[in-house]
Structure 1
Amino acid sequence: MTLDTRPLADRIDRRALRAFRRTLPSTVRPKLVTVLLPVALIAVPFVFMIALLTAIGVDQFILRDKGLSSILAFVPVITMPVVAITLLVRALRQRNGVRQFRIAEFARANSFSYSPRVERPWLPGMIFEREGQSSSYSTDMVSRDGEAPTIIANHTSVVGSGKNRTVHRWGYVALRLTTPLPNIVLDAQKNNSWGRAALPVALAARQRLSLEGDFDRHFALYCPAGYEADALYLFTPDIMARFIDNAASFDIEIVDDYLFLYAQGELSTLDPELWKQLLSTVEALSQRVRQWARWRDERLDAGGAAWPEGAAVPNYARREGVASHGRRLARRADWWWIIGALLALFGFYNLLQDLFF
């Protein structure tokens, strides 16, 4: 596929940009008053402090209160405008719509669709279904239909609220498959750190399946118990080679009738080279996974057909779908934070021992 990446870097038609900005929702392009309010909250105390110092006299202020305290008093005077300008520039850049316009034009030039933001996308992958999730949305979603329906976007998931609020950001590629498959995860070894997987959930180790060759050096494959033979059927040597060559830096999940590639960080960007890499990967994988359309779950009945007991039911008579215990992988508790908390408590206890005993 030949990509036209010129809209990602070419000169922008300002008139077209202004028209495009008017179509952006407020969640993407906040109102001007929303932008200026935080700046005003910082600017007002700053102006008050400048007026106070002017009235007293800077030299008198320093002479009256010599030492470190007089110097520290000027820290807010210096930092406030810096913070205000930073917030203003960041907010104005968010409002200018240039990024969204470029990606939208890139999508249009290559026969894709574009959505600046999609709230709670109806997708089954693990990054979309986090426990305790308070909000989630995908941004800069580039998609296409056709023989190989594809979505490329960035996803933000907010878990908890207040002081316990945590924001998780991922980039993802979603390929629509022609038939539902068992939930299979390929944990890329390249992006793991300290022996810990970069996946957003912890999977039960008993589901780990070792494959032939050097595939295990690149991916750790997890499949539901009882579906080991199905995983071996799906991941033939040529499929494994294609994943190693084209997708070794991504965590991969097959769930329902989707194949997801996950990356920590954005994938829908203004980087032409990244787009070429992503769509080359999509094309390479799409060609190979077409053969998965023939897979059927033998655990399902034969669609009501009256086949003799013990007979080999032909593939065309089998229902599409996956038996209930193959639809989702079993998860386990993530013990890392528990171990960390115990170590912190142990350290705090030793500190108290040293101080008071």
Structure 2
Amino acid sequence: MRPIILDVAGYQLTAEEQEYLAHPFVAGVILFTRNFDNVVQLKELVQQIRFYAKQPIIVGVDHEGGRVQRFREGFTHLPACGDLLSKTNSLQETLSLAKASAFVMASELIACDIDLSFAPVLDINGISDVIRERAFSDDKKQVTEIASAYIDGMKLAGMASTGKHFPGHGSVKADSHIALPVDSRSKQTIFEQDMLPFKKLIAAQQLDAIMPSHVVYSECDDLPCGFSDYWLQQVLKKQLGFKGAVISDDISMHGASFVGDHLSRAEGALSAGCDFILACNDAAAAMTILDGLSVKPTESLTLINALSANKEKQVMPLIENKLWQQAKQSIDQFNEKY
């Protein structure tokens, strides 16, 4: 397998990055704000990444909108997902805007040869400081319905969907980037509330990938979901019947730290059922994973192809794409109004 999705440091690849992108364990690269200066530079960086990888890989980013939009200048300002409901007058308007926002987001990233935004967020807005307006709603049925429209927009543009953070991150206060959140609610509550959007969208075959949370659900299992055989094998794959890719959240986050060092985290996540591992913001630790991972490097082209952008759905350049023009106009008008 080729399980590791890494990051890079800046606007261009370093000599070391050029070398390790061709490593047999590397499946992709995730980009951040530090990798973006302007659209031309971004396209050149992605071109470099694909050239030095010497094999098909995934290029992804977190580009949900609101406070989680990595690229700004030259890209449409995307509203936070929660604003799509809270600042509109009807659910129908919300659904239309959700589809338009996703289509614009996906189209503009694909125009830069980026395959994925790791979206949508399927968490139910509750007490979590890190989720808040990133969630579509505080109602499970509304989250499901709006997320479905959002995914329709992504797929119309040619982008695969990644539902996160399974089975739900909205009801813990702690931020898993800097702490280990523990959700002590009952199994019944989690299954009937937080997990509903995942369950419904998996049943509708709308989710291509799932990103599990770094949250411990103490009434269900002692391990964070992304390292839990119970959650990934028994619940996600067997009970819910999910057959797509499972992508770990960043194993450098504090919520993953008690599993052990970075190599132990990567091996633990893979053993539990993850297909891809995000290893970000610690280049030295990422190298220990590449050097020490005990799994056998084999081809992962089926999953990589499933998550790669379908560029045939796009009319390029975007300025000549009428669907993009119409969707962008809807989002620009929403931004001007609110």
TM surpasses 0.5: no
Relative to the length of structure 1, the TM-score reads 0.23
Q: Normalising by structure 2, what TM-score?
A: 0.24
Instruction: Flag the structure with more relative contact order, 1 or 2, with Cα contacts below 8 A and sequence separation at least 6.
Output: 2
In terms of Rg, which structure is larger? Answer: 1
